[in-house]
Amino acid sequence: MKKALLVCVVLGLGGLGSCICLARCNYYVVEKIDIKEPNAAGETDDPLTNPEFDETLVDSRPLDGWLVNQSAAVIALDCPGINPDAAPNMLQLWPSHAAILSTIGDTTRGSFRNRPILPSANLLDAAAKQFDDGLYATLDLACYRGELDGNVPGAVALVHEIFNRLPADSPAKPFLAAALQLAGKNVDLDSATAIAQKIFLDEFEANTVRSKPISFYTWTPELEQVWKFFKFLQKEFWLFFDGTGLEIPLAVTAVLEADTNLMNQYRAIHRFYGRLTNPLICLPVDAMTGGKTNLRELAKQFGTRHAAVAMYPPSTSRENELFEQMFPAGVPENVELMTELIRKIRSGEVDLTPKDNDGWYQYQVHALECLLLPDNAQEKDKLLLKAKYKKRLVEAFKAMITKRRETHARQLGITDSIEAPVQATPPKSINPRLRIEPCATVYLRTARAYGFLQNFLKTAIPIERLDALHGLRKSGPRELALGAELNSICQRFYGFYLIACEDIGMRPSFLDGEPVEVEPAKAAALAWLDKMNNDVDLACDTRIAVPIYFDPNIGKVRLWAVLGVRLANLDASYARPPKIRRDQPDSQWQVPVDRLGVAKVLIAVDEFAEVEVKADKIPNREEFRALCDKYKTKEEIVKALEDL
């Protein structure tokens, strides 16, 4: 369906909303939007590739005394459909991966409907998500409190200092006083300023899209303060037709210009979040030095999407940029945002590759690109993806980008083996031996995203301070120091990549100088997989919902939601066979064509939904999970959300 949109000129100003509409209409010109119906593009099976045989690439796991070489093999992956009458439990939604594993059985010994459980990309991501939340919570709190030391000052203390230096009659006085009150710091105000402060606070609290804490920010009262403080100061100021609208940011800029140290502190904070999440979506106030107010020119100069200014600007993302360009006047009723994002990524119109100034969030999202574009993955010639498995990867992308975004919601975003005796007869059945879902490039890019974050934090925070910080859980601090745990999870994902490479017979490929200790990384990943049933992070509730698009004209918000974990079938077979030989020096490689079988396993996957709710009914984690517990199925949960 094609829909033409005309850029309209707003002649009168009915308030801030009209000004924003006008500013964005002037900044973006959208002539035409090409919208596809949801799920219109079907998937097709991959063509069969023909990798070269590499005699040196031998699996480290002998099979009944025989060596296995998969270098010329191609593994086909398929996701057979589920018959709800024959296997009703397969469609049941579980709150966590641990819940589904403990019910079905141990991943190495247990099975369900005669299928063993294979750790999915979703499961590996679910554990990492808990670390990500804890890391972001710790760093956000530390910046808020002023505990990062080094080059990043305390965000609240800086606002307090700016407030103290403002003239008594400054228009910024009540605005910053409101922010400080949200941070639990009351300041002395005259009656007129107190009234103006209350107006700012009432306006903010009435806008629940901004003011209501979600994600991990409901863990503690202080994290709720962090949410409200930063969200309040993300307010974007626009230039009105009559030259007004920028009095508050100009007043703040004047204070910063008067003190170089104060200016440097302010810039350090927005640079910090520009790397921790992503580049800023609008101008920071220091862009207005010298009284500059041509926001359109400044936005072009600084490369921001919005011709507006904020005290602590939020970060941009590729999806935000796409949806702003496609739907400046609202999302048509029959359009699904996730479908449009996927289509644009696949067409090449949205490029997820991180740019030089991008932050951790973009590296995280780039890691997921190969779920939609498997031809971009290193493992493309080693796997033959069936149409149904490709659809499974699309669903994985939907859930995993939702989880990554929810982490940044405030700112946006081996065991020793016993040698088997040599046998003259080859194994009776040779199946692909997958230890994890073979999304090798996803794991590699995720490791690189953590590596980017490591390098950034080492430059932003003194090493002794980083060693003293701990990530958070809802129940309190995580066990390892933040720097040590960040390094551990980075190496674990490198290990997942190495395991996936070996499982499909692909030689690992790293960048020059990439800091990978191959054997320790692989051992760390295998050790985690061996004990993952005891990982407390997998016991965490995986169900979340995060806003993605707000339409003030109809008072509704689009949510991306992960409704729970369920099971899916995964069949792995050889589209091209491996080669085997006896574990003896004079043995020759053989092609066991008549002995190939199918590895039938189950994977735990996330159930995604996009749903529209009233703006004042956005559920936080606790409310959303209570609703999921009550209504159980995807259809019932979606309807309950729409009826809120």
Residue type, 210: R
pLDDT of 426 higher than 90: no
Percentage of the residues of the chain whose pLDDT score is greater than 90: 75
Concatenated DSSP letters for 407-433? HTTTT---PPPPPPPP-SSPPS-B---
> Are 384 and 74 in contact, with CB atoms under 8 Å apart?
yes
Backbone angles phi, psi at 390, to 5 degrees: -60, -40
Concatenated DSSP letters for 150-207? TT---HHHHHHHHHHHS-TT-THHHHHHHHHHHTT------HHHHHHHHHHHHHHHH-
Residue type, 249: P
Angle, helix 337-347 to helix 387-407, in steps of 10 degrees: 110
Which of helix, strand or coil describes residue 439? coil
The reported pLDDT for the residue numbered 114 is 65
CB count, 10 Å around CB of 113?
A: 13
Helical H runs in 219-258?
A: 221-233, 247-257
- How far apart CA 329 and CA 25 sit, in angstroms, is 10
Concatenated DSSP letters for 291-358? G---HHHHHHHHT-SSS-EESSPPBP-HHHHHHHHH-TT---TT--HHHHHHHHHHHTSS--SPPTT-
- How far apart CA 276 and CA 273 sit, in angstroms, is 5
Q: How far is CA 108 from CA 112, 376, 436, in A?
A: 12, 31, 12
* Chain segment 459-492, per-residue pLDDT in tens: 999 888 888 999 999 999 999 999 999 999 999 9
pLDDT of 13 higher than 50: no
Give the residue, 32 or 7, on which the prediction is more confident: 32
* DSSP one-letter code for 218: G
Backbone angles phi, psi at 69, to 5 degrees: -120, 115
Task: Dig out the tokens for 385 from the structure.
Answer: 């993806």
Task: Dig out the tokens for 224 from the structure.
Answer: 């709720």
* Chain segment 531-553, per-residue pLDDT in tens: 999 999 999 999 999 999 999 98
Q: How far is CA 362 from CA 79, 403, 404, 510, in A?
A: 29, 13, 10, 20
The reported pLDDT for the residue numbered 196 is 94
The reported pLDDT for the residue numbered 331 is 86
Q: What's the average model confidence in pLDDT over 429-452? A: 95
Q: Any idea where the domains of the chain sit in the sequence?
A: 150-319
pTM: 0.85
> Are 582 and 361 in contact, with CB atoms under 8 Å apart?
no
Three-state secondary structure string covering 574-633: EEECCEEEECCCCCCCECCHHHECEEEEEEEEEEEEEEEEEHHHCCCHHHHHHHHHHHCC
Window from 314-328, 339-353, 385-399 with minimum mean pLDDT: 314-328
pLDDT of 601 higher than 70: yes
* Chain segment 275-299, per-residue pLDDT in tens: 999 999 999 999 999 999 999 999 9
Work out the burial of residue 418: count CB atoms within 10 Å of its CB; fewer than 13 is exposed, 13-18 middle, 19 or more buried. exposed
The reported pLDDT for the residue numbered 540 is 95
pLDDT of 608 higher than 90: yes
The reported pLDDT for the residue numbered 423 is 47
Residue type, 550: F
Q: Which residues pair with 614 in a beta bridge?
A: 556
| Mean pLDDT across the chain | 87
Percentage of the residues of the chain whose pLDDT score is greater than 70: 89
Q: Find, among 176, 165, 170, 312, the residue nearest to 251 by Cα.
A: 170
Per-residue confidence band for 24, with pLDDT thresholds at 50, 70 and 90: very low
The two counts, helices (H) then strands (E), for the chain are: 22, 15
Task: Dig out the tokens for 537 from the structure.
Answer: 């992070």
